[in-house]
Amino acid sequence: MTTRLRQFKKRFVAHWYRIGPFRKGLELLIVGLLLLSTVPSNAVRAAILLDGHPQLARRVTVTKAPASDTRYVLGRFHIGRIYEIDRSYLDSSASFEVVDFHVTRILIFNVAYPTPEPG
């Protein structure tokens, strides 16, 4: 077992020295996003970050929707509805305000995407 671990470590270190600084940054970003997406609330924050709102992603409060709100959608999360603070934002197409997120799980990773408010 230790020889496999040692071989993996050698290959990883050789790969790290072989690639350039741009690819190192890209790989670290991808690993960071994957680690963020293991928890549902962090997956919501990552979706907000990728949608172009980094300040909001850092300070938003993510709460799980009550059972009465999740009749038709499993894994629904709200942002900014706690303490009556409105932290909604316009989506990238500017067609609706984002308040709710649907979170689905793929293996161990969670993927969050905005759901439009009906009305």
Element (H, E) at 77: strand 76-79
Q: pLDDT tens, position by position, for the chain (119 residues)?
A: 678 899 999 998 998 899 989 999 999 988 888 887 788 888 888 888 887 777 777 877 787 877 666 555 557 777 765 555 556 666 565 556 677 788 888 888 888 888 776 54
Task: Give the pTM.
Answer: 0.64
> Going by C-beta distance under 8 Å and a sequence separation of 6 or more, which residues neighbour residue 8?
none
- Secondary structure class of 10 (helix, strand, coil): helix
User: Are the beta carbons of 113 and 101 closer than 8 angstroms?
Assistant: yes
pLDDT for the residue 70: 57
